[in-house]
């Protein structure tokens, strides 16, 4: 699905970055290619491949033709968590009606911002699983969540709590029993680009673009105990097509929709 991918180091590798490169090769069964002072763009063209760079502090992923790398960073989740911690409402938590102890399945993990917020809301007794179809993205995010160094303890705890699964959403959903998760969450790549969200442009280049289907929704409904939640562009036809009740947000270019299985007790 990702095409050919090679692993290399930063331009001036140290022992740590060389070890990171070896770890990536072993985890993903990829070929290591010495940097030899070549640019990432030159290596990508020469090998006709995506490139994972093991740097001194993090992994960076350059899909073929990408001008900028994809890498893990808590991003907007850190700001959202601070607001939630102050008692402010988060639209995703509200749409999901997430409560402490809930189980949350994120069918479209991406950079993991929504899963991080869900892990905070679900608490230590909750369970958060994120599915990512692109194995390179899944690897970068999983390792980032396990190793990212931050002094913000709630954020660190949330990152360590999330289980990352590399799989297509429908395939993974089919492997689960009925009513496996309280909430099943779906946030596909928007059909329309939201200009204000240019910080996700590298994810758009790196990730898989999977359209929502009836099979996907049907499996999500089967697996969910309480509700299935969809995040999509406000002009999306998916809400009506698949029977989601829309939560209209007049000041936002994306809306949430939900299919309720039963009211929480």
56 and 101: one domain? no
The predicted pLDDT at position 59 comes to 94
**Candidate from 36-45, 236-245, 253-262 with smallest mean pLDDT:** 253-262
Q: Among the residues of 29-59, which ranges form H helices?
A: 40-47
Query: In this structure, what are the phi and psi dihedrals at residue 125, rounded to the nearest 5 degrees?
Result: -90, -5
83 and 35: one domain? no
Beta strands across the sheet bearing 103-106: 163-166, 127-132, 103-106, 181-186, 224-233, 254-260, 245-247
The predicted pLDDT at position 199 comes to 44
Question: What pTM was estimated for this model as a whole?
Answer: 0.89
* CATH number of the domain bearing residue 16: 3.40.50.10480
Question: Is residue 229 situated within a structural domain?
Answer: yes
Question: Is residue 159 situated within a structural domain?
Answer: yes
Gap between the Cα atoms of 25 and 22, Å rounded:
5
Q: Domain limits at 35?
A: 5-62
Residue-wise pLDDT tens digits, 77-114: 888 888 888 888 999 999 999 999 999 999 999 999 99
* CATH number of the domain bearing residue 183: 3.40.50.150
113 and 228: one domain? yes
The predicted pLDDT at position 77 comes to 83
The predicted pLDDT at position 1 comes to 56
Domain count, the chain: 2
Residue-wise pLDDT tens digits, 4-25: 999 999 988 888 899 999 999 9
Average pLDDT over residues 37-46: 94
Comparing CA positions, the residue from 184, 125, 130 lying closest to residue 157 is 125
Question: Is residue 67 situated within a structural domain?
Answer: no
Question: Is residue 29 situated within a structural domain?
Answer: yes
Average pLDDT over residues 120-143: 95
Question: Is residue 88 situated within a structural domain?
Answer: yes
Split at pLDDT 50, 70, 90, the class of 196 is very low
Comparing CA positions, the residue from 94, 102, 157 lying closest to residue 126 is 102
Confidence check: pLDDT of 204 > 60: no
The predicted pLDDT at position 153 comes to 65
């Amino acid at each position: 699905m990702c095409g050919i991918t090679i692993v290399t180091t930063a331009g001036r590798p140290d022992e740590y970055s060389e070890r990171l490169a070896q770890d990536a090769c072993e985890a993903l069964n990829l070929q290591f290619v010495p940097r030899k002072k070549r640019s990432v763009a030159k290596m990508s063209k020469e090998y006709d491949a995506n490139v994972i760079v093991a740097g001194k502090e993090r992994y960076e992923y350059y899909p073929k033709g990408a001008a900028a790398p994809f890498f893990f960073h808590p991003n907007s989740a850190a700001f959202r968590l601070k607001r939630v911690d102050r008692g402010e409402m988060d639209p995703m938590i509200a749409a999901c009606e997430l409560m402490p102890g809930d189980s949350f399945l994120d069918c479209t993990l991406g950079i993991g911002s929504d899963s991080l917020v869900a892990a905070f809301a679900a608490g230590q007794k909750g369970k958060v699983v994120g599915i990512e179809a692109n194995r390179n993205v899944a690897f970068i995010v999983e390792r980032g969540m396990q190793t990212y160094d931050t002094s913000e303890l709630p954020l660190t705890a949330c990152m360590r709590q999330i289980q990352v699964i590399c799989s297509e959403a429908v395939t993974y959903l089919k492997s689960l029993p009925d009513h496996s998760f309280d909430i099943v969450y779906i946030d596909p790549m928007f059909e329309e680009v939201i200009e204000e969200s240019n910080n996700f442009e590298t994810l758009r280049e790196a990730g898989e673009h999977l359209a929502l289907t009836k099979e996907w929704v049907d499996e999500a409904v089967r697996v969910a105990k309480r509700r299935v939640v969809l995040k999509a562009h406000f002009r999306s036809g998916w809400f009506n097509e698949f029977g989601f009740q829309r939560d209209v947000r007049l000041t936002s270019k994306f809306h949430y929709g939900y299919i309720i299985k039963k009211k929480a007790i």
